[in-house]
Structure formats: structure tokens, C-alpha cells
Amino acid sequence: MLRAIVSGLIILCASACAVSSVEPLTIPLVYTPTPNPEAVLAAPACKAAIRIHVDDKRTEKLLGVRIHESKPLRADVSAGGDPAAWARDGVEHFMAQSGVVAQNGESPGAGAAVLNLDLDAMRTSENIWHRSGYDARIVFAASLQTASGKTCWQESVDGKAGNYGYSGSVLNYQETLNGALDAASLHMLNSAAFESALCHCGDSGASDN
């Protein structure tokens, strides 16, 4: 008898607790710095000061999609705010943990290198049932140039992150996006070619990397 009651409660909860509607969302882009020991370990062998410039070059402006795992329910997700400004803020804060200082303003110091980041993709997905699984991916076409415009390094870099929690949670979306952005920054810092360029790109001559 007790087993039957418990089974009934489980079935009731399965039907009652599952998400029954999926609505469109707009996610404010807010970067929250998080201490990351991997950033410290990836510190370059030199002291570097750069200026970071980000352009939003995405052809797909929609941030992502919410999909229910067992019902024909889906909805779009949009980004609230300036993706380029958000990305610049995040990369600047993450790299600061490794000792790379970002200079502000349009007139960097003499010889300072410029990190140009073209935001080619920024996508999220939310798979919904009782709770949700979140995924995010960010892709940059990145280049490091001397103040005079000579390219020292260029590469496509990306970052991915996942999360799990309540469905439709703005905080879960923000944490996942910030994690993907941090992963893209770490991708750059872990590149030996990027480190070499970072340590020489501010000089009068550029490296051949």
C-alpha cells in the first residue's frame, strides 16, 4: 500500500513539477569577475599592457533558444545590452588576473599593443525538463597588433561553458555566458604564440608569429 502511494506521488510530481510553458527571454549582459587560478597560472613571462577593442560581427543576432525535452515547446532568447562592451569588460577583467593590464581610452601609451576581437558567434541553448541544462559558446577572430597596425598574432579562439539549475534563470544564463567568455580568454592566454606576441608586440618591431 505504501509503495503504491509513493509511486503515485512520484507520478504526480513528474507531471506537476515539469515545466509546462516556455516563454521568450531577454538576458541582460552583465560580466561578474570571478577569481580563476587558471588565469594566474597562464600569466605571461613578461609584463604587458594592451588596449582591447571588440567589434560585434555576428550575422546571427539572436542569443539562443529554449527547448523543452518532451513537448513541442520552444522560445527565442535575446541579449539585452551591448555584446561588444560586455565582451571587452570580461576579457579585460580575466586577463588582469594574469597580470595583463588593459589601457583605457583611444590613445594608448607609446608602443602599446592592441588586441582586436571580432565577435563572430555568441550562442546559448537551454534544454528544459524539471530543471534546465544550459550551454554557451563564444567565438572570436582575434589579432594582436602594434600601435602602428602591424599584426603580430592572429587566431580564431572560442570558449564553452555549461550550467544546470532552475529553468529560465537569468542568473544561470549570465553565469554560463560569463564562463564561456572566460574560457575564450583562457584559450588566448594558454597559446604560446599569443604569449610570444604579447611580450614583443609593443616593441618597435613585431614578431613573425
CB of 10 within 8 A of CB of 56?
A: no
Comparing CA positions, the residue from 116, 60, 82, 86 lying closest to residue 182 is 86
Q: Where are the domains of the chain?
A: 31-200
Average pLDDT over residues 55-72: 95
- The answer to whether residue 111 scores a pLDDT higher than 50 is yes
CATH superfamily ID and name for 31-200: Lipoprotein like domain (3.30.160.150)
First to last CA, the chain: 73
Pairing of strands 25-28, 74-80: parallel
% residues pLDDT > 70 (the chain): 84
- The answer to whether residue 41 scores a pLDDT higher than 80 is yes
